[in-house]
Structures are given as C-alpha cells and as structure tokens.
C-alpha cells in the first residue's frame, strides 16, 4: 500500500509496518495499535507532527524511528488517558508536549538516549 507524501496517517487499532521504507507524512496520529519497522535494515518515519492519544486501558506504540520532516523541528504531542510508548532511537528535535496530567508515558529512547 502506498500513501502519498504529505498525507495524514491515522492508526486506530492494528499495526502499520513501514518495513524499512522512509515515508513522510503531513501528520501521524496513533490512538491505538502501533507503528513498527519489521525490516532488518531500518527505515524512518517523518511527519510535520506526531500525535499519540490512547484512551482508557488502551496502548499506542510507535517503535519506528521518528525523524523531522522537511522544514525543521517537529513535536510529539501526547494526550489521552491510556499508555503511550515510543521505543526507537528517535531523532526528531521539536520536543514533547504532554497535554493531560494523568497518564502513564514511556518515552524510552528519547529520554534515555
């Protein structure tokens, strides 16, 4: 499946596998399910914004490497009451915005390097 560059990618359940490719999107949102990279030679996923917004008792995961899209630093916005997990060597430079105070947020690679 090919999604045109600059499009909005929304993952709401299931798994979206970039499989070693380097797609670039207008925005990426994960409300449940995951974005992964199952390839041996890893790719990256670029976007003008990354959003994670899981609801109660729901997990949203991005384990593909997130990078800045063309045009500069990009932000990961985390909201919702579920569990948000990133666990790749992410290199986007815009920082993280936490929109709700009551949430469990695991940001493994960006904080732990």
pLDDT digits (tens, 9 = 90+) for 12-56: 999 999 999 999 998 999 999 999 999 999 999 999 899 999 988
> Domain tally for the chain?
1
Q: H/E element holding 18?
A: none
Domain assignment present for residue 2? The answer is no
Say if 44 falls within a structural domain.
yes
Asked if residue 1 is part of any domain, the answer here is no
In a domain, 21, yes or no: yes
- Structure confidence at residue 110 (pLDDT): 47
Task: Please state, as a whole number, how many other Cβ atoms lie within 10 Å of the Cβ of residue 44.
Answer: 21
Residue 83 lies in a domain: yes
Range of the domain at 91: 8-112
SS3 5: coil
pLDDT of 60 over the 80 cut: yes
Q: Chain-wide mean pLDDT for the chain? A: 84
């Amino acid at each position: 499946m090919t999604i045109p560059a600059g499009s909005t990618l929304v993952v709401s359940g299931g798994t979206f596998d970039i499989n070693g490719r380097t797609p670039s999107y207008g925005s990426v949102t994960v409300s449940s399910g995951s974005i992964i990279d199952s390839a041996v030679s890893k790719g990256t996923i670029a976007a003008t914004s990354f959003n994670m917004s899981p609801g109660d008792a729901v997990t949203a995961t991005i384990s593909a490497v997130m990078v800045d899209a063309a045009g500069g630093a990009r932000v990961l916005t985390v909201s919702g009451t579920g569990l948000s997990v990133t666990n790749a060597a992410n290199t986007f430079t815009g920082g993280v915005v936490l929109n709700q105070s009551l949430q469990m947020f695991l940001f493994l690679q960006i904080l732990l390097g």
